Amino acid sequence: MNEDQPLHSTGDQAPGQQAIDTILDRHYADVEPFYYGTMISYRLGGPDPLDGVRVYACEDPVPYWHYVTYGFTELYEKESESTEYSGHGFELTLRLKREGEEQPPVWAVNFLQNLARYVFSSGNGFRAGHYLDANGPIEAERDTALTAIAFVQDPELQSAASPFGAFEFLQVVGITADELDLIKVWNSESFLQLAEQKLPLYLTDLTRASLLEDAELRAAAELGVRSEGSSTGVLYLESLNWAEKRNLFKGNSYVLELGAKQTQSLARILSGRLLHDRDLTLMGPHTQVVMIPDVQNRVTELDNGLQLYLNADAVAELSKRLVPKEGEFVLDTMSSLTIKIVKTFMRDPDGNIVETIG
């Protein structure tokens, strides 16, 4: 991305861009934006999926930068099969608290481009309520507690439409690791509504500590978890395996292998799902395990994994015994199920082990 590089041609040649321009020009009528545009369009083989990013300097309620992307929607012509939405149906925004700098930090533009690379390569879009673990500081060169993000509808830019279909502005919000864990066992939208009293306009503040250090806010969040349960229906686990043990006299039993890193999150999500009469699906690289609330404990095999039917006593025991420590145990409430917890190895971008959990 090049600073002040024109985004692309306007008008009839890019009616999708013009639709975004119109919204931003109306909202920021007296503010001249910074432009970060691509040298070579992604359509022509360039490395950046987004055509560009506008950034506005804002002052209220505190000084911050407002980044707005161009490229998740269709800018030039209709290419997708959807007649309802333009492209992926959204553009991303980010409100980054300023720290006295005179120009917008470029790392945030690169971060938005990386999110675009994920969307364009996977085909998976974002929606309000989604969240994502960055597995490290969202600004790689910064010692910040913000290591994950959540998505919420931009509080000022409303849903809109272009000649190619409808779209919305989704705001990226930087969150801490324990806030992410809370979101998993509760839900993103409820947490962000609670957090807005501390983060006006859902600002991303690289200098802040976890909001859960506030005792009053944490208590309100825990009350929400207990009353509402968890909205996380699918949990991705890097270390998820199972094996069947055949015994002619005692019947078949199963060993479920889990990585230590996510045991505590799984314990709370499990209670937040099954004790609220909701299924939970664990997805691994090669298999899946569906946990289903029932009155009778049992295991059934599927072509692509297992189904575990668990009663309230089994859920309570499993939730209590899932700890981030290598080990193996048989459930007292379900003797046909053994849980094996293995170490999780955290690696840097070069593949080197930087932390061992368990």
Question: Helix (H, G, I), strand (E, B), or coil: what is residue 328?
Answer: strand
**Which value, to the nearest 10 degrees, does the dihedral of the CA atoms of residues 37, 126, 173, 18 take?**
40
Between CA 171 and CA 149 the distance in angstroms is: 10
pTM of the model: 0.83
Q: Is residue 355 part of a domain?
A: no
Residue 270, Cβ density class (10 Å: 0-12 exposed, 13-18 middle, ≥19 buried): buried
**Final residue of a structural domain among 202, 228, 254:** 228
From 162, 194, 228, give the residue that closes a domain: 228
**Residue 61 domain flag:** yes
Q: Name, in order, each residue with C-beta under 8 angstroms of 9's C-beta and a sequence gap of 6 or more.
A: none
Structure-token pair, residue 148: 């994950």
Task: Identify whether residues 219 and 139 lie together within a single domain.
Answer: yes
CATH number of the domain where residue 322 is located: 3.30.1360.230
DSSP code string of 194-252: HHTTTSGGG-B-TT---GGGSHHHHHHHHHHHHHH-----EEE-SSEEEEEE--TTT--
User: How many domains does the chain fold into?
Assistant: 2
Do residue 253 and residue 204 come from a single domain?
no
Spatial contact of 202 and 192, defined as CB atoms under 8 Å apart: yes
Q: Is residue 351 part of a domain?
A: no
pLDDT digit string (tens) for the chain, length 358 residues: 444 444 444 445 889 999 999 999 999 998 999 999 887 666 666 788 999 999 999 999 999 999 999 999 999 998 888 889 999 999 999 999 999 999 999 999 999 999 999 999 998 999 999 999 998 999 988 999 999 999 999 999 988 999 999 999 999 999 999 999 999 999 999 999 999 989 999 999 999 999 999 999 999 999 999 999 998 999 888 889 999 887 766 668 899 999 998 898 899 899 999 999 999 999 999 999 999 999 999 999 988 899 999 999 999 999 999 999 999 999 999 999 999 999 888 776 677 887 888 7
For residues 33 and 147, membership in a common domain is answered with yes
Say yes or no: 6 and 147 in one domain: yes
Is residue 25 domain-resident? yes
Give dist(CA 201, CA 60) in Å, integer: 10
Q: Are residues 220 and 277 in the same domain?
A: no
Residue (of 342, 233, 245) closest to 291 by Cα position: 233
Give me the pLDDT at residue 100, please: 92
CA pair distance 187, 131, nearest whole angstrom = 10
Q: Are residues 198 and 70 in the same domain?
A: yes
Name the residue type at position 28.
Y
Q: Is 311 found in the same domain as 175?
A: no
Domain span at residue 203? 2-228
Does residue 353 lie within any of the structural domains? no
Q: Is residue 222 part of a domain?
A: yes
Give yes or no: residues 155 and 218 share one domain. Answer: yes
The verdict on whether omega for the bond into residue 293 sits within 30 degrees of 0, i.e. cis, is: no
- 23 φ, ψ to 5°? -65, -45
Last residue of a domain, one of 196, 228, 260: 228
Residues 14 and 155 in one domain: yes
Write the DSSP string, 34-74: EEEE-SS-GGGT-S-SSSEEEEEEE-SSS-EEEEEEESSS-
Residues 205 and 74 in one domain: yes
pLDDT for the residue numbered 161: 92
Note whether residue 352 is domain-resident. no
Give yes or no: residues 13 and 28 share one domain.
yes
The answer as to whether 293 is a domain residue is yes
Ramachandran area for residue 313 (φ above 0: left; ψ -120 to 50: alpha; else beta)? alpha
One domain for residues 170 and 246? no
Instruction: Give the per-residue pLDDT at 331.
Output: 93
> Helix 188-195 and helix 177-185: axis angle, to 10°?
130
